[in-house]
Chains A and B, each alone.
Chain A
Amino acid sequence: MSKRSVADLKVGERATIQSFNNQLMSLKLLEMGCLPGAEVCLSGKAPLGDPICLNVSGYCLAMRKSEAATILIENVE
């Protein structure tokens, strides 16, 4: 089974960032505070389900689904 990514989250679901699968995109995401180990929560989706809104370290980040798919996650216990 392939790893879950932020793109697979449901609205309101929480997860912890584990790693990235695209280095160029990870540089941008890291700087915006998406760090491995950080807890994220999918706070909402734009109409048509894309882009998505992600709560990370206290603020809201909008990104496309294709970008969200580069953030691999593990579930929060």
Chain B
Amino acid sequence: MVLIIIHSTLFIFTLKTSPVIALIGNPNAGKSSLFNQLTGLRQKTGNFPGVTVDKKSGTWPIDAQTVATIVDFPGIYSIYPKSLDEQIVTDILANPAHPDYPDVSIVVVDAANLHRNLLLFTQVADLGGPVILALNMLDVARQQAKEINAVRLAMRLGVPVVRINARTGEGLDLLKKAVLGQLEEPTLPGKLFFDPAEEIPELIEETKVQYQLETNYLALQYLIQHDGFSFLNRSQQVGLDTLIHNYQFNEQTFQAGETITRYKRIATIAAEVVTNQRAANQPTWSQKLDRYLLHPVWGYAIFGFILLLIFQAIFAWAQPFMDGIDSGVAWLNGQLKESLPPGPLTDLLTDGILAGIGGILVFIPQIAFLFLLVALLEESGYMSRVMVIMDRIMRKFGLNGRSVVPLISGVACAVPAIMATRSIGTRRDRLITILVTPLMSCSARLPIYTILIALVVPSRRILGLFNLQGLALMALYLLGLVSALVAAYILKLFLRTQERGYFIMELPTFKLPRWNHVGLTVWESVRSFVWEAGRVILAISIVLWVLASYGPGDSMDRAEARAKQQHAALATDQLQNIIASDRLEASYAGQFGHFIEPAIRPLGYDWKIGIALLSSFAAREVFVGTMSTIYSIGSGADDSDITIRERLRQEKNPITGGPMYTPALAWSLLIFYVFAMMCMSTLAATQRETKSWKWPTVQLVYMMALAYGSAFITYQLLH
């Protein structure tokens, strides 16, 4: 009894109250499922300090005193990284001083692919920290008639092994106990699984002494990977180079030998713990499905059909929801105007803020649909098949099969898409992908496309199936894609390299999507779109409202007096409209617009569009908000419940007297926005990822030139 009490007091003193727990594992081993099970909604996405690799972390209350921080590391096959994304894992695991260095590592192992998963596990264990093996996907293994003896596995490896089901959450209590046990009194394997000192004892010993390292395997990592270790300074790296040179150490040969030795030892263990009764080489249903998905004809047909479905969803299915939000905002605006006392503050709230925010809220259904479908493709395992069937074609254009994911994600937003290029191991392929990804039409362009297409393309069905507007939208997206490929091809000619590109990828088996994952992804993207874009738009809306409501000196009042004089004979509401428009023209914003009008006149734009272009330079989605604000201010006060689309339709061209938004103008604007690099966040992402100012500059210049040139040609041809 006394012993137990002493023990538990010690426990309270020694246990950190917020330990860091790392989730490590192969891609597709169920790491993210486990992460979601453990953290639920208590998770956030941030950056690892010093680098811009996405860091998913969350909190996990283990017991009354302890709330652990769970860090979900990128999926890796081995401790030797193949891409920038993977480098972060070793960079942290080899550096105990790192703030994310784990107190316990949970290695998630796919029981159906035990050998390959154990390779990573044994490497992580050999680094020296406390580890737990979470044996996942036992149900899949069982389907393949494989049974795994977890107790024997634990005995052979010398670490705690916990059977879990990351999808259903089975075994999490046991995992909790194991984590507490490892924090309190770690069970470490008695000896290294692979000890480099068996082959190169002097070199390992000297490295350990020089760099004060505790384990032999960590010393080996210093020798092989020091170029990628951000925590080593220049002279430390040179010191390691000297050691390698002095001992004539061949890293590649040694690493190959290590992998083979590990697999041999794993095979011995697996023979003891796995009972395999599977009849030899029955094709699984996943393989049968692949015969169609990778088929020369069906493969592309299915992919094309899925893309078409996505665009139909974005345009047609989202429409009722959008109409609802649209009229809701217009109704609210009208109510506010009626109930609040008239004055500049009410105007700011309705014409400035609400008009701007409403312009964004409308697009939530489309963005939600887009992310939903992309998440479903990723979750099911289909996206890997797309990479395979697209690799050959992508290679022709200087890209890589893996570029497909950034390009498709680019349809949602270029910033995460550019960050997703880190999984491309080849430097040149990655750079080209970064440079062309923003040509894919992102969701911020969607509001612009939607409004302008609705203005000039009739909503009609053709072949009884496809909406004409949906097809026009798809054409714009295709234009973005084709231009991205052409740009990549041209860049390929300029960027020559000696580096050998490669594409080796596991094709995961097909899985039913995890709906909570999909839900989280959609929620996260909608939230960040509304929040991130919303803040910028709110700020710009206010500034713009001020600029549009005030002018230098009494210029606006003089404009009003002049209008009253000239059009005295007109009816009151017509007069109101003219006055409002003339006042806008005399404001700061109007004068600004006039100032740049000569430059954009060849594209068909007037000063009002000029204001919107300028304000959307920071972020494209501001365009619609700005248009809403400008046309709310520019029209009389009485028609506040008319939507932005109606306002644009009613807008008259002051020169011709016909509608302002002719097909020529609308298409010129559409083409301009397909190509224009109007997004500060994307340029910032390119700068971070390429670590240079040269590439964002190149990106900005080539895309802007392309936008201006194409819009010019479009307008002049259609005009």
The digit string for B473-507, where 1 denotes a CB below 8 A from any CB of A, is 00000000000000000000000000010111111
Q: Which segment of B108-116, B617-625, B668-676 sits at the interface?
A: B108-116
Selected from B253, B256, B389, B503, the residue in CB contact (under 8 A) with A64 is B503
Chain B residues, CB < 8 A from A50: 391-392
Q: How far is the CA of A61 from the CA of B502 in the complex (A)?
A: 13
In the complex, are the beta carbons of B253 and A23 less than 8 A apart?
A: yes
Q: How far is the CA of A26 from the CA of B500 in the complex (A)?
A: 13
A24: interface (CB < 8 Å): yes
Main SS class of interface, A: mixed
Who on chain B is nearest to A36 by CB?
A: B260
Chain B residues, CB < 8 A from A59: 113, 116, 506-507, 509
Chain A residues, CB < 8 A from B294: 44-47, 53
B299: interface (CB < 8 Å): yes
Name the residue among B77, B291, B401, B505 with the largest chain A CB count within 10 angstroms.
B505
Known: A53-B507, A62-B507. A24 touches B252 (CB 8 A): yes
Chain A residues, CB < 8 A from B505: 61-63
A15: interface (CB < 8 Å): no
Name the residue among A26, A50, A59 with the largest chain B CB count within 10 angstroms.
A59
In the complex, are the beta carbons of A67 and B504 less than 8 A apart?
A: yes
* B297 nearest CB across to chain A (Å): 8
B635: interface (CB < 8 Å): no
B119: interface (CB < 8 Å): yes
Within B643-669, the residues touching A (CB, 8 Å) are none
Chain B residues, CB < 8 A from A31: 77-78, 80, 119, 259
Selected from A23, A32, A41, A64, the residue in CB contact (under 8 A) with B506 is A32
Known: A27-B80, A28-B82. A60 touches B506 (CB 8 A): yes
In the complex, are the beta carbons of A32 and B80 less than 8 A apart?
A: no
In the complex, are the beta carbons of B392 and A46 less than 8 A apart?
A: yes
Within B502-531, the residues touching A (CB, 8 Å) are 502-507, 509
Q: How far is the CA of A44 from the CA of B401 in the complex (A)?
A: 17
In the complex, are the beta carbons of A26 and B256 less than 8 A apart?
A: yes
Q: How far is the CA of A47 from the CA of B255 in the complex (A)?
A: 34
In the complex, are the beta carbons of B503 and A33 less than 8 A apart?
A: no
A72: interface (CB < 8 Å): no
* A76 nearest CB across to chain B (Å): 12
* B498 nearest CB across to chain A (Å): 12
B: contact size bracket: 35 or more
In the complex, are the beta carbons of B389 and A47 less than 8 A apart?
A: yes
Chain B residues, CB < 8 A from A53: 290, 294, 388, 507
In the complex, are the beta carbons of B504 and A63 less than 8 A apart?
A: yes
Who on chain A is nearest to B116 by CB?
A: A33
Q: How far is the CA of A33 from the CA of B26 in the complex (A)?
A: 13
B343: interface (CB < 8 Å): no
In the complex, are the beta carbons of A28 and B504 less than 8 A apart?
A: yes
Q: How far is the CA of A26 from the CA of B504 in the complex (A)?
A: 11
Name the residue among A27, A62, A63 with the largest chain B CB count within 10 angstroms.
A62
Known: A35-B263, A53-B507. A48 touches B296 (CB 8 A): yes
Within B48-83, the residues touching A (CB, 8 Å) are 77-78, 80, 82
Q: How far is the CA of A66 from the CA of B295 in the complex (A)?
A: 21
A: contact size bracket: 20 to 34
Q: How far is the CA of A48 from the CA of B300 in the complex (A)?
A: 11
* B2 nearest CB across to chain A (Å): 52
Chain A residues, CB < 8 A from B165: none
Within B279-321, the residues touching A (CB, 8 Å) are 281, 286-287, 290-291, 294-297, 299-300
The digit string for A2-25, where 1 denotes a CB below 8 A from any CB of B, is 000000000000000000000111
Q: How far is the CA of A44 from the CA of B292 in the complex (A)?
A: 11
Selected from A44, A48, A64, the residue in CB contact (under 8 A) with B502 is A64
Selected from B116, B119, B299, the residue in CB contact (under 8 A) with A47 is B299
* B220 nearest CB across to chain A (Å): 14
Q: How far is the CA of A53 from the CA of B297 in the complex (A)?
A: 17
B640: interface (CB < 8 Å): no
In the complex, are the beta carbons of B391 and A64 less than 8 A apart?
A: yes
B587: interface (CB < 8 Å): no
Chain A residues, CB < 8 A from B115: 33, 57-58
Q: How far is the CA of A45 from the CA of B388 in the complex (A)?
A: 9
The digit string for B78-96, where 1 denotes a CB below 8 A from any CB of A, is 1010100000000000000
Selected from A28, A29, A33, A44, the residue in CB contact (under 8 A) with B290 is A44
Chain A residues, CB < 8 A from B287: 43-44, 60
Selected from B112, B256, B393, B401, the residue in CB contact (under 8 A) with A27 is B256
In the complex, are the beta carbons of B113 and A58 less than 8 A apart?
A: yes
Chain B residues, CB < 8 A from A63: 502-505
* A17 nearest CB across to chain B (Å): 11
Chain A residues, CB < 8 A from B384: 62
Chain A residues, CB < 8 A from B119: 31
In the complex, are the beta carbons of B502 and A25 less than 8 A apart?
A: yes
Q: How far is the CA of A26 from the CA of B80 in the complex (A)?
A: 13
B→A interface (CB under 8 Å): 77-78, 80, 82, 112-113, 115-116, 119, 144, 252-253, 255-256, 259-260, 263, 281, 286-287, 290-291, 294-297, 299-300, 384, 387-389, 391-393, 395, 401, 500, 502-507, 509
Sample 11 A-B pairs with CB under 8 A, ordered by A number: A24-B500, A27-B256, A41-B281, A44-B287, A48-B393, A50-B392, A53-B290, A53-B507, A59-B113, A61-B505, A67-B503
Known: A28-B82, A44-B294, A46-B389. 11 other contacts (CB 8 A): A28-B504, A32-B116, A33-B116, A46-B294, A53-B388, A59-B509, A60-B287, A62-B387, A62-B391, A66-B502, A67-B502
Q: Which 4 pairs, one residue from A and one from B, show the smallest C-beta to C-beta distance?
A: A47-B296, A60-B507, A30-B259, A31-B78
